[in-house]
A = this chain, B = another copy of it.
């Protein structure tokens, strides 16, 4: 094999949900995701990441999964002769004060992606975005139809439904159309706050991944405290999905899965009728293999 050397870097997208807002751990006053070099001493990529996240932020790190590996030539100001490979990870944590070396801070997802929060209906920002994207689509007659379809489907226009899992697709579309490149643009309220290099794209990747994952694996509980009410759980899921859910059906869904059990305690924090407190049944992971099917199996 030819000698192909590259810089190797690890990037962490640490997410928590605090006060029903999804947040991401950042450095540089919210301008960048925490990252560090992958060194020879590290046993594995995961181990390397855990090590310096712990060092830089002191934040305990539970769930961790690999997200994606980036290495495009033009993704960042760079040494031309040598590439940087960035391996990103998604981590789920319960937010704590974390006085680490890198002056870490938490920022809401929707600072960076204002158009992604549909809990109170379609955000106002979407109208302007849709208009700008349409202008972009029309600007190239040869690709117009195809582009318009993409815009329609991504943004949920003309009868198409909003699909919260398309967060990355939407960001890439806006990027392609030149709506999100410039830092410090005047319309950040609409196009969201920029980040260093391609960190915002990485965050979009994480959002898409997590929004997909909460549907078929009980990862939300990594973000919940030891005991919680059903409403709290629902609001956490809603925060991640950026969608409002139907309360009775959410409850039914949860107890069908038998993922949680009552603690016996009650909480009366919310003003109305006191709510039962629940805890996650870790054992469930070992009992049911978390069925998956969706294929029309045949038994015999």
Contact = CB atoms under 8 A, between A and B. Distances in A.
Contacts of A68: 66
Contacts of A154: 289
Interface string A208-228: 000010111000000000000
Contact of A40 (B82, B253, B291, B297): B82
Contacts of A42: 73
Interface stretch (A21-29, A188-196, A242-250, A269-277): A242-250
Contact of A69 (B4, B39, B83, B87): B87
Contacts of A5: 5-8
A296 B245 contact: yes
Contacts of A166: 289
B40 A81 contact: yes
A66 B252 CA distance: 36
A294 interface: yes
A105 interface: no
B37 A1 contact: yes
A38 to B, nearest CB: 5
Interface centre among A8, A250, A300 (most CB of B within 10 A): A8
Interface stretch (A90-98, A108-116, A157-165): A157-165
A289 B7 CA distance: 38
B289 A245 contact: no
A140 interface: no
A85 interface: yes
A298 B39 contact: no
Contact of A244 (B165, B212, B291, B300): B300
Given A39-B4, A44-B71, A241 B81 contact: no
Contact of A286 (B66, B149, B165, B247): B149
7 contacts: A4-B37, A45-B72, A215-B295, A241-B295, A243-B295, A243-B297, A243-B298
Interface of A: 1-9, 36-40, 42-45, 66, 68-73, 81-83, 85, 87, 121, 146, 149-150, 153-154, 156, 160-161, 163, 165-166, 212, 214-216, 237, 241, 243-247, 249-250, 252-253, 286, 289, 291-298, 300
